[in-house]
Structure 1
Amino acid sequence: MTIYYKFVRMSKFFIDLLFSVIKKENSIKKWERKIKRINLENNDILSKLLHDDDVFVDVGANTGSVTEELLKRKKLSLCILFEPIPVYYNYCKEKFSTSDNVIVENYALTDKKGEFSIFMSEQNFGWNTMIGSRASHDMKELSINGISFDEYIEKIPLKKINLIKIDVEGAEYKVLNGMKKTIAKYKPIIFCEIGFGKSLHPNWNEEVEIFEWIFNNGYKRIDYNVEKTQDVILYPLAN
């Protein structure tokens, strides 16, 4: 009887775990349908900035919906996705498992290699941040691996990088500081969300410094107004 009882308890545990995973996956799919509608305008802009055979880098890929949409519109030679949160990374890996021109990496892009904390919302699947002071009390803290893009790209020699999309909820200054060599060498178009804005960002000076560095290194501003959270395009003057 005791063995049977333990077996029933264990079976119930695994059944509950299975249904929890299924429920989570269904919730992510619902979120993805929603974010695809929200991103319609951004995807149109990104598509116009890209050409067939271009190389696209998606930083903060989430469910990979942006890359998925761009691949429908352009014959991109390579897409590199960075998603540090395991559940979204695995979702992207499965989604692009048959795509030879897509690499999915389980890293947070930052300014140095190491282990970091990220705060994950289990209610809003698009709200995950490495800025601890901006995390809400109900967010889950995860330990993740981080690397700078400059260090990462040493392992994958590329002739070009055409467009980098960054959506990292306030940590864009870390991402950009970690790709200075890449920016100087490849002069990619950068489509970046500036998180929180001037009044709320705890590291606003660092945010301003990296953008000023970019502008002083051959880039012009398009729709540049960082007083609040918004998407901006950083466009190389040579283009």
Structure 2
Amino acid sequence: MRNRLENFLAGISRQLFRIPGGFFIVVLLKRIFPAPNTSPSWKTFRFRGMVFRVDVSKGMGNAIFWRGAHDWGPLFVLERVLKKGETFIDIGANQGEYTLWGLRKVGPEGKVIAYEPSTAIFQQLEENIRLNPRYTQAITARKLGLSDRPGTLKLYTKSGINEGVNSMFPSAEHDVFLNEIELSTLDSEVRRLGLKRVDCLKIDVEGAELPVLNGAEQTIKKHKPVIIVEINQSSCKAAGYEALELLQFLENLHYNLFTIGLRGKLIPLKKDAIPEFSNTIAFPV
């Protein structure tokens, strides 16, 4: 009975993204039904035409189950940016939150390419793709890390319940070894896959954002995609560069930069006041 009630209320709470302030109702519901202490605890549900399977004992999975998304701001923007038939590349796809959203937007006639190097999380990504067979021809999932050169590296994560914080750069926070990963560049991948268009990139790779962009420079120059990128100053420093370098790279390629605010509001980004953490979107001029 409790499980059915939880599933019913979660179905309602996932619709509250439409309502300003709905987040606070979701917080209340999550307190009534706290995350399980045992791991894993899987839930399968349908939201906006897509089927998800998530582990609600984990931070990201629990957020997706109750809210429909781990972070709504970039998804509000993706909803406006992506069109039917376009090509969306999800770099750092995790379990497929953006991947499935992108598939819904570009449709079976479009393309989504998803990159996720973690062995365990890639299995979750593949499962979520399998649960949406209508889009089989539109999706390519690659167990691969992207950077500025090919090679291999070790992948690390944080201890705790958040499954979305894997990094190629060990630090005091990222100190748990996951697995060794293969690396390539986006430029090489675009050639290998024979992509004729690239309309939007989403990059969330815990500090490897600048190396990924360096390895995608020819693709960006040729296709001029909209780019959604996470900026975490601590992760940038752990990777050996400053967040400002990332922004300058995009500006040098003639992009205008905006911070993604609440409910997808776009705020012009000031380079002299870079937030410690932000989701940023870059539009070609």
When the two structures are superposed, what TM-score results if normalisation uses the length of structure 2? 0.68
CA distance 1:72–1:208, shift in 2 (3 Å): same
Q: Which residues of 2 match residues 82-121 of structure 1 at below 5 A? A: 82-97=115-130, 98=133, 99-121=136-158
The corresponding residue for 1:43 is: 75
Q: Residue 53 of structure 1: which of 67, 71, 85 is its match? A: 85
Alpha-carbon shift at residue 45 of structure 1 (Å): 1.0
Q: Residue 174 of structure 1: which of 211, 216, 227 is its match? A: 211
Output the amino acid matched with 2:222: K
1:96 aligned counterpart, secondary structure: helix
The corresponding residue for 1:233 is: 281
The corresponding residue for 1:216 is: 252
Question: Does 1:196 pair with 2:209?
Answer: no
Contact preservation (8 Å) 1:119, 1:129: yes
The corresponding residue for 2:170 is: 132
Quote the Cα distance in structure 2 between the aligned partners of 1:177 and 1:207. 14
The corresponding residue for 1:149 is: 186
Question: Does 1:32 pair with 2:61?
Answer: yes
Percent pairwise identity: 25
Quote the Cα distance in structure 2 between the aligned partners of 1:24 and 1:174. 33
Quote the Cα distance in structure 2 between the aligned partners of 1:227 and 1:40. 18
Alpha-carbon shift at residue 73 of structure 1 (Å): 4.0
Alpha-carbon shift at residue 210 of structure 1 (Å): 4.0
1:110-143 per-residue CA deviation (whole Å, 9 max, x = no partner) reads 1111110110235210111112125344x23421
Q: Which residues of 2 match residues 53-72 of structure 1 at below 5 A? A: 53-72=85-104
Contact preservation (8 Å) 2:89, 2:201: yes
The corresponding residue for 1:8 is: none
Quote the Cα distance in structure 1 between the aligned partners of 2:231 and 2:192. 28
Quote the Cα distance in structure 2 between the aligned partners of 1:117 and 1:144. 6
CA distance 1:29–1:85, shift in 2 (3 Å): same
Alpha-carbon shift at residue 173 of structure 1 (Å): 0.8
1:147-167 per-residue CA deviation (whole Å, 9 max, x = no partner) reads 111111111122210000011
Alpha-carbon shift at residue 197 of structure 1 (Å): 4.9
Quote the Cα distance in structure 2 between the aligned partners of 1:53 and 1:134. 43
The structure that has the greater radius of gyration is 1
Alpha-carbon shift at residue 70 of structure 1 (Å): 3.2
Quote the Cα distance in structure 2 between the aligned partners of 1:34 and 1:42. 15
Output the amino acid matched with 2:164: G
Contact preservation (8 Å) 1:59, 1:109: yes
Contact preservation (8 Å) 1:47, 1:74: no
Quote the Cα distance in structure 1 between the aligned partners of 2:156 and 2:188. 24
Q: Residue 223 of structure 2: which of 183, 186, 193 is its match? A: 186
RMSD in angstroms over aligned alpha carbons? 2.4
Quote the Cα distance in structure 2 between the aligned partners of 1:33 and 1:74. 26
For structure 1, which runs of at least 5 residues remain unmatched after alignment? 1-21
CA distance 1:197–1:23, shift in 2 (3 Å): closer
The corresponding residue for 1:14 is: none
Q: Which moved more, 1:127-136 or 1:147-156?
A: 127-136
1:22-74 per-residue CA deviation (whole Å, 9 max, x = no partner) reads 94473952132414433223211111011111100001000001221233344
Q: Which moved more, 1:54-63 or 1:189-198?
A: 189-198
When the two structures are superposed, what TM-score results if normalisation uses the length of structure 1? 0.80
Output the amino acid matched with 2:245: E
Contact preservation (8 Å) 1:197, 1:227: no
Q: Which moved more, 1:62-71 or 1:221-230?
A: 221-230
CA distance 1:38–1:141, shift in 2 (3 Å): closer
Quote the Cα distance in structure 2 between the aligned partners of 1:73 and 1:143. 33
